[in-house]
Amino acid sequence: MQGKSSKTAQPDKTTQKRAEILAAAMDAFAENGYHATKISDIAQRLGMGHGTFYRYFENKLDIFISVIDLIIGKVASIVESDYPTATNSAGEYHQQIIRLGERIFEVFREDMRFGPILFYEALGVDPALNARMEALLDAIAQATELYFINGVKKGFLRQDLDTLILSKAITGVLVAGVRDVMSASDPEAVTKRWSRTIAGLMISGMS
């Protein structure tokens, strides 16, 4: 029985160690940038040797991609957490968009490492990473599109809307908003302004 318990516990230990390395890597990337960060910088933060690091990640690019996946995954989970079909009127839709916007901005306010890594350090690091980010952002746009489709079907958004292009445009607007919030002296106030403005645009400009 003891051997069986040990085997089942091992994945949890591996997951925990990977999470610790990811957290240390995010600190290093946010402070020093991707190119200036070395594997030794990450390992030293945890008091581990190079060999231990390579048990969990292949190289620096591998862990950086994992960091990017983690950040975008958090944003995607918020977009997908609400029900696109839950709203039946422009008023309900307006409140839904404000709620989603504030929660997305909150992700970057709660962890100030996320913004610099995603919007600055990730640019041009590797062609494969660029393609991965594009695919992940497209996935977020596709999830966003479901909210537009619901509004069109129920008649509180214009019938001639190009929902796919609009969803990509809104994703781009969110990126600009997050960058603004990151540099704001009062991030909470700026978050509310962006969320309400985006929601207003998605109602008055499309209904």
Specify the number of domains making up the chain: 2
* Predicted local confidence at residue 58, as pLDDT: 93
Residue 41 and residue 121 share a domain: no
One digit per residue, the tens of pLDDT, for the chain of length 207 reads 455 544 554 558 888 999 999 999 999 999 999 999 999 999 999 998 888 899 999 999 999 999 988 988 888 888 888 888 989 988 888 888 888 888 888 998 889 889 888 887 887 788 888 887 788 788 888 888 998 999 999 988 888 989 999 888 888 888 888 889 888 889 889 988 988 888 887 776 665
Residue 34 and residue 111 share a domain: no
Residue 165 and residue 137 share a domain: yes
* Domain region containing 150: 67-204
Ordered alpha helix ranges (H), the chain: 2-32, 39-46, 50-53, 60-81, 90-110, 114-116, 127-154, 163-182, 187-204
* Predicted local confidence at residue 204, as pLDDT: 66
pLDDT digits (tens, 9 = 90+) for 146-158: 989 999 999 888 8
* Predicted local confidence at residue 123, as pLDDT: 77
Does the CA dihedral 94-95-99-105 come out positive or negative? positive
Residue 26 and residue 78 share a domain: no
Structural contact between residues 57 and 42, judged by C-beta atoms closer than 8 angstroms? no
CATH assignment at residue 19: 1.10.10.60
Q: Rounded distance, CA 103 to CA 90, Å?
A: 20
Residue 199 and residue 111 share a domain: yes
Residue 40 and residue 93 share a domain: no
- The pairs formed by 56-64 with CB atoms below 8 angstroms and a separation of 24 or more are 56/14, 56/17, 56/18, 56/21, 57/18, 57/21, 60/34, 61/125, 61/126, 61/129, 63/21, 63/22, 63/25, 64/25, 64/29, 64/34, 64/121, 64/122, 64/125, 64/129
* Predicted local confidence at residue 23, as pLDDT: 94
Last residue of a domain, one of 10, 36, 57: 57
* Predicted local confidence at residue 11, as pLDDT: 58
Residue 85 and residue 26 share a domain: no
Residue 35 and residue 1 share a domain: yes
* Predicted local confidence at residue 207, as pLDDT: 59
CATH assignment at residue 75: 1.10.357.10
Listed residue (77, 196, 201) closest to 148, CA to CA: 201
Residue 62 belongs to a domain: no
* Predicted local confidence at residue 120, as pLDDT: 79
Residue 88 and residue 155 share a domain: yes
Quick one: tokens of 29?
């990337």
* Predicted local confidence at residue 206, as pLDDT: 63
Residue 87 and residue 12 share a domain: no
